[in-house]
Amino acid sequence: MVLPGVQALFGFQLIAVFNAGFTDKLTRPEQLSHLAAILCVVVSIALLMAPAAIHRRREPYSVSTAFISLSSSLLRAGMAPLAAGTVIDVYLVARVLTGSILAGAASAGVCVLVFVGLWVALPARADLPRDE
């Protein structure tokens, strides 16, 4: 479910580089920050797609508990670079739109709080039964 959204984000990130405003509105360090955000999303895509590649290669006709565990670990690992890339780009968009580094930092900070809250704190506190 996550992968189509990540791929859409990646497409928008790539398009941004080819717009005239990219070099006009972003400083060189900000342009390099956008590259870092793209690289974060690429790492996220690789981690999110790894379970499909592993399944096709190792267990094409079955699903083992070990595979489910590995897939869950890879998917969890893929969320961190996705969050990082998204936060960096939110900072850049907010900075360009407002002209303020402070507004960019505040916007990025709100995103960090949302990601940590929904992706870390909520799952840790959720009262869900565990199938063992």
Would the pLDDT of 60 be above 90? no
The string of pLDDT tens digits covering residues 77-104 is: 999 999 999 999 999 999 999 999 999 9
Report whether pLDDT(129) > 80: no
Residue 58 pLDDT greater than 90, yes or no: no
pLDDT number for residue 132: 60
- What pTM did the predictor assign? 0.86
Q: Residue 83's pLDDT is what?
A: 96
CA distance 128 to 117: 17
Q: What are the extents of the domains in the chain?
A: 2-125
How big is the CA angle at 50 (ends 14 and 81), to the nearest 5 degrees? 50
